[in-house]
Amino acid sequence: MNIYTAQYRYGGEDRLDITVKGNTPPGNVLAPDWAMVKGLQAGTMTQWDYTIAYYSKLVLRMYRAGDAEQKALDEILTDRQQLTLVCFCPAGQFCHRVLAARMLEEMGYGKYLGERLI
């Protein structure tokens, strides 16, 4: 699977909203939580702290998934030729969509090919 990232307004068929605001399956499996988002925005959480918290959250979700979470993960990771993870962050800035894409690549689900320019 080819994995891309893009800003929220990307509208391709392979689009997956992974924003905390979207909060709907299957994208919510890869979404951060509000405390992380607000901490980063307020400067009370560093990018490093955010990265550790985000990866920890994803690992717990992926490896301790219940039936609903597992179904959402299966939808994300199977039967797709490509996947574009979207959120609100501007291209080129620190963003969880890139962290998610890199984690999926490291786990062997596909190859991260970078940001789609809109």
Mean pLDDT in consecutive groups of 10 residues from the start of the chain, 118 residues: 97 95 87 96 97 93 74 80 95 96 92 94
pLDDT at 61: 80
Give the whole-angstrom CA distance, residue 88 versus residue 77: 22
Domain holding 73, by residue range, is: 2-115
pLDDT at 35: 96
Q: Model's pTM, two decimal places?
A: 0.92
How many domains in the chain? 1
Exposed e or buried b for every residue in 62-82, given b needs 16+ CB within 10 A? Answer: beeeeeebeebbeebbeeeee
Closest CA to 19 of 75, 95, 116: 95
Measured over the CA atoms of residue 28, residue 101, residue 61 and residue 90, the dihedral's sign is negative
pLDDT at 5: 98
